[in-house]
A and B are shown apart, each in its own frame.
Chain A
Amino acid sequence: MNLAVREALRAFQRAPMLSLLSITTIAFSLFAFGLFGLVYLNLRDALAQVEERVEIRGFVAEGTSAEATSAAVGDIAAFPEVASVRYVSDVQALERARRELGEFEDVFEAGILPASIEVRLREGQRDPESVRSVARRLEFYDFIDDIRYGEEWVEKLYKIRNIATAVGLSLGVIFAIVAIIIIGSTIRMAVLARSREIHIMRLVGATNGFIRAPFLVEGFLKGVLGGLLALVLTYFTFEFVGQYVVEATYFGSGLAVLGVLAGALIGLLGSAVSVGRHLRRV
């Protein structure tokens, strides 16, 4: 097999620009995956933090009896999505507002803030869907006037995450396809450049596997190099963003290795799909 490696390296020498082009496209493909992967990872972390604070607040009408509210609190606590329920009386609400907004304490008068029932959801149940569904169930209580749950920004964050994922995936897939096509054409050139060798290999009885091996090795090496390049690119982008825009988290080493392996896979695939077809023509 060291023959295959040697012949693959010869192919690099013979078409350095085209080889570089294949490596770069693989790198861009994985760069796109990687960049949006980072966006995804960081948004996921941000969402997790934000979600912890997701809270559904039902405002209780004036004059509602304590029995009614405590019965409701008991009911709501039994919802499967619900982690905790708390009743905040109008007096408590006023105290809290004064505490939080100390300098404006005079603005608040007793009776201005209604009592409320505050509901926190369990982890994994804090997506917009579950939040809405719990909120709808709170509406059944006649004495609950109004329900707030910061729906807008929760849904916006989710949307951003989904868009980033979709854009990243499609760009990555597009670049991967381009990379496979470019690798295919480099293989075509490499096959033509080696047509004499291939002819002689066949003549003296080399197996198809043996004839193919150098091309597969070539694709594999390009893929690994492309993967490493993508890793470097994402790292610099990440550093740049970290320095000038926002503190963020980077891939763990497991994901980095996975990225390089993905490159190797793209390279191998690009070679494998075209080598047979082109070999048949020489």
Chain B
Amino acid sequence: MIRFTHVSKLYPKGGPALDDVSFHVNRGEFVFLTGPSGAGKSTILKLVYVDQRPSQGEVRIAGQSSVTLTGSAVPKLRRRLGVVFQDFRLLEDRTAEQNVAFALEVIGTPQDAIGPKVARVLTQVGLAGKATALPHELSGGEQQRVAIARALVNDPLVLLADEPTGNLDDRATRGIFQLLRDINATGTAVLMATHDLATVRANPYRTLEMNRGKLVYDSASEHPAAADEFDAPVPDASETPQ
């Protein structure tokens, strides 16, 4: 579903952020992306949600190729991805439910479909009781749950999480990680960048390790790689009329 083929990335100023990276992620998979700071983890995620384009090679996401993807096709692709960050990126002047609803409003979801979707996803992340709280009235872990709810509300194929527990204490970290596992259990793929080695080691999930822009370890390639029948276009179930 996500396939990197000999991908290199050079930022306009700076050295190579990615150097000849190839891997793929299947539907429903849970994948850790690890490595020291500056290794290129965020860059990989940015290439997936098309915040950046590869300098060389090809990135394929849900049947779309970075080589042929036009700028105007990007929004539609992003509606099938969910993204969360270390710093939550909530709108401070809106409540939890308004933050989640915002993600639906701006892609033209019909007004009467928004309420039920928001309520369902807030329940899923365990925040049904805090729907009307403003971000500053919530703990860090709760704010990240709002952000995850916002990322999930469009039923994405994959949840991209860039150090989602980087700002959280141990207890909140465990909570968020458990939530990501639960989400994965419903069939959503999760690609999680983290340098929290304790969490990575404690879990049996596939790990991609980056160092200085190179993919230095892929736990899946220790086993014979499964034939990739997953690159075919994925039917677009989450499409919303505009």
Contacts and interface: CB of A to CB of B under 8 A. Distances in A.
B89 A196 contact: yes
Contact of B49 (A203, A206, A207): A203
Contact of A210 (B77, B89, B106): B106
Nearest to A197: B91
A208 B242 CA distance: 13
Given A207-B242, A210-B106, A202 B78 contact: yes
Contacts of B74: 205
Contacts of B79: 204-205
Nearest to B93: A10
B107 A210 contact: yes
A211 B105 CA distance: 11
Interface in A180-225: 196-197, 199-208, 210-211
B124 to A, nearest CB: 17
Interface string B69-83: 000101111111001
Contacts of A202: 75, 78
Contact of B78 (A196, A199, A204, A211): A204
B93 to A, nearest CB: 9
Residue with the greatest number of chain B CB neighbours at <10 A, chosen from A3, A200, A211: A200
B110 to A, nearest CB: 12
Given A197-B91, A203-B83, A204-B103, A210 B78 contact: no
Say whether chain A's binding surface is mostly helix, strand, loop, or mixed.
helix
A199 B89 contact: yes
A83 to B, nearest CB: 64
B60 interface: no
A210 B104 CA distance: 12
A196 B91 contact: yes
Nearest to A6: B105
A200 B242 contact: no
A206 B49 CA distance: 13
B83 A205 contact: no
Contacts of A197: 91, 102
Contacts of B77: 205
Q: How large is the interface on B (under 10, 10 to 19, 20 to 34, 35 or more residues)?
A: 20 to 34
Contacts of B102: 197, 200
Contacts of A196: 89, 91
Contacts of B49: 203
A208 B107 CA distance: 11
B188 interface: no
Contacts of B89: 196, 199-200, 203
B108 interface: yes
A204 B108 contact: no
A10 to B, nearest CB: 9
A202 B75 CA distance: 7
A208 B83 CA distance: 19
Given A196-B89, A196-B91, A205 B75 contact: yes
Contacts of B106: 3, 200-201, 204, 206, 210-211
B78 A200 contact: no
B154 interface: yes
B3 interface: no
A206 B75 contact: yes
Nearest to A10: B93
A201 B105 CA distance: 9
A199 B85 CA distance: 12
Given A3-B106, A206-B107, A210-B108, A200 B76 contact: no
Interface string A84-115: 00000000000000000000000000000000
B150 interface: yes
Contacts of A204: 78-79, 103, 106-107, 150, 154
Contacts of A210: 106-108
Interface in A221-252: none
B91 A207 contact: no
A205 B103 CA distance: 8
Task: Please list the 9 inter-chain residue pairs (A to B) with the smallest Cβ-Cβ separation, ordered nearest first.
Answer: A205-B79, A205-B78, A206-B106, A204-B103, A205-B75, A201-B106, A207-B75, A3-B105, A205-B107
Given A200-B89, A202-B78, A210-B106, 12 more contacts: A197-B91, A197-B102, A200-B91, A200-B102, A203-B78, A203-B83, A204-B78, A205-B79, A206-B75, A206-B106, A207-B72, A210-B108
27 contacts: A3-B105, A3-B106, A196-B91, A197-B102, A199-B89, A200-B89, A200-B103, A200-B106, A201-B106, A203-B78, A203-B83, A204-B78, A204-B79, A204-B106, A205-B74, A205-B76, A205-B77, A205-B79, A205-B80, A206-B106, A207-B75, A207-B107, A207-B242, A208-B72, A208-B75, A210-B107, A210-B108
